Every structure is written in C-alpha cells, then in structure tokens.
Chain A
C-alpha cells in the first residue's frame, strides 16, 4: 500500500504524542507516589517517641500547675509573715525596741554627749 506523506506525518505525530503522554503519565504516577510518601513521613515525624512524650507531659504539667503553685506558696508565705509580724509587734515590741535603742546608743554613744 502506497502511503502519502500526510499519513507518514500523522504517524510520526502520533508516535511523539504517545511518547510524551507516556512520560507525563509516568511523571504523574511518580509525583503522586512521592506526595503520599512525603505525607506519610511528615505524619511519622510529627508523632513523638515515648521519651519525648514524657518530657512533653512534664513540661505541660509544669506550665499548667506553676501559677497555681506560685499562688499557693505566695499565699502561705504571706500568711506566715503576717502572723509572725503581728506576734512580733504584739508581744515583744517594747522589749525589742528597747534592746534596739540600747544597742544603737552603745554603738553611737549617747546622743547629745559628743562634746562634753
């Protein structure tokens, strides 16, 4: 059968078009495969190891509980100071003041007697 050059050109066109289509489909498959693998890797990397999980839980607990602990400790120490202060003022004030004044006068000397 005698083929025209037009037929020959068509056959060559079909050949190259098929070759490009084949490459495109191969690239599409490879791209999809890479995407799935990447997604799997990303999911895996997001998952924590047991030691990491423990550290994460400890850090989280510290963050959550630290304001409460600080508040409680502040409250307790404040109460103690208040109580101690009050007791110090109520019970021992005169004696302590006297002692303090005495100690100051010993150290500084009697006020007003610097130039006899």
Chain B
C-alpha cells in the first residue's frame, strides 16, 4: 500500500506543467498564480492519495480534483480572467527547416489556432485540453468536468468545427487579399 502511494505520488508530481496549463483555462492569467494553484492541487492530491481507488485513470482523478479545486478557488475570488496565450518563437525556431511558403503557412495556422483556443470559453478549453493533450476518453472527460457524456461529445464536435471554420475563413480572406 505504501509502495503504491509512493509511486502514485511521483506520478502526480509529473503533472505539474500540465496542471499549470489546465489551471490557466480557469482564469488565472498570471503564470505565477497558475503555478501556485497547480502546486496546491498536487499537494491536495497527495494528501488524498488514499481516496484514489483506481476505478478511473489517475489523470481523470487528478483533473476531476483540479476541476473542483479551481471551481472553488476562482468562484471565491470572482475571477473572470482573460486567457493570455503563450507564444514560443524559440521553440518554433528549433523545428526542422521547411520551404519558406510552408513555414509561413504553418506559422499563420499556428497563430490562428492560438487565437481560436484563447477565444474558447473556459469549459471548452478544458475539454479540448483533456481530449487533445491528455487524450482522455469521452467518458473520462465527462467525469473530470462533471458533465453528461453527450454534452462532452457535442462540445468536442463544436470545438473542431469552430476551428475548421476559422481557418477556412482566414484562408479565404488571404486569397481575396492576394487577388486584389
């Protein structure tokens, strides 16, 4: 039991950076604050390690706990922060070089995705993160965000359709600008 808990604790500690990104979607625009909240969530998860029954995956359990914690925390402070997107030019520059047109195209698409994700509401952003980064199943996401399975499924469809529409609209604008 003790060995299991120690192993779980080390796994929980690895969620730090992911939790920071997740917490930011709750309206913690300052990176420092998101870091503090993520740290508090990890502490809480470790403190309640005995309650983890293994019925769900560890990630589902942590995000469910994080969801409840953030809901309380940001309800108390009445925070409705706007999410500030992070930019990583230094990471982008480390990628293998491509043809200039392709590079420009990719950079534009990335900027559009950044903008789109920033414009998502907090719930959709959380769902998108759990689905596309953590790759949780729909049932796991439903459990983590405390929503019906059908709603989660629908929200994911809306998120994808919205991004596709935004990208196509951006490309259409560029094509029109090029013709003029």
Contact = CB atoms under 8 A, between A and B. Distances in A.
Do A and B come from the same complex? yes
Interface of A: 1-3, 5, 8-9, 11-27
B29 to A, nearest CB: 14
A8 B160 contact: yes
Given A15-B110, A15-B114, A19-B21, A25 B91 contact: yes
Contacts of A11: 109-110, 113, 163
B117 A15 contact: yes
A20 B133 contact: yes
Given A16-B129, A20-B21, 8 more contacts: A5-B164, A11-B109, A12-B128, A12-B163, A14-B110, A19-B86, A20-B18, A21-B91
Contacts of A2: 168
Q: Which residue among B17, B114, B171 has the maximum number of chain A CB atoms within 10 Å of its CB? A: B17
Contacts, number: 66
Closest 8 CB pairs of A and B: A16-B133, A12-B132, A23-B17, A24-B17, A22-B88, A15-B113, A13-B132, A8-B160
B16 interface: yes
Interface string B32-65: 0001000000000000000000000000000000
B129 A3 contact: no
